[in-house]
């Protein structure tokens, strides 16, 4: 098989995977917005608990959804206190709706 054809197939497959993951992230993002509106600033573990999500892959979905909401300007990421250990930041950093 031609190398360019293998590259084209791999590129197409990667593009489809990204498209599907973004659609799932958008679904989760639509669930996060009302949650932040009703309950105020929350951490990632609190968001997961409120949505009934458990596990590392669920945490990844929430992070991807929050990232898209931050990039779109709907949500802001609050700073963590100075001196917070790196591994504890996910439990401390809060996300809130941006004031409009």
Please choose, from the candidates 92, 67, 88, 57, the residue with its C-alpha nearest in 3D space to the C-alpha of residue 78: 92
**Could you please report the per-residue DSSP string of 7-32?**
HHHHHHHHHHHHHHHHHHHHHHHHHH
Environment class of 6 (CB within 10 Å of its CB; exposed 0-12, middle 13-18, buried 19+): exposed
Q: Per residue in 27-46, pLDDT tens? A: 788 889 999 999 999 999 99
Q: Check pLDDT > 70 for residue 22.
A: no
CATH number at residue 34: 1.10.10.10
Share of the chain above pLDDT 90, in %: 36
| pTM, entire model | 0.71
Structural domain tally of the chain?
1
Domain extent for 41? 3-97
């Amino acid at each position: 098989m031609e190398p360019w054809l293998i590259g084209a197939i791999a590129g197409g497959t990667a593009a489809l995977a990204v498209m599907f993951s973004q659609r799932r992230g958008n679904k989760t993002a639509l669930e996060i917005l009302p949650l932040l509106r009703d309950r105020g600033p929350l951490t990632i573990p609190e968001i997961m608990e409120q949505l009934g999500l458990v596990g590392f892959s669920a945490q990844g979905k929430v992070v991807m959804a929050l990232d898209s909401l931050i990039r779109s300007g709907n949500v802001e990421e609050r700073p963590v206190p100075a001196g917070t250990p790196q591994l504890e930041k996910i439990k401390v950093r809060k996300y809130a709706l941006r004031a409009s």
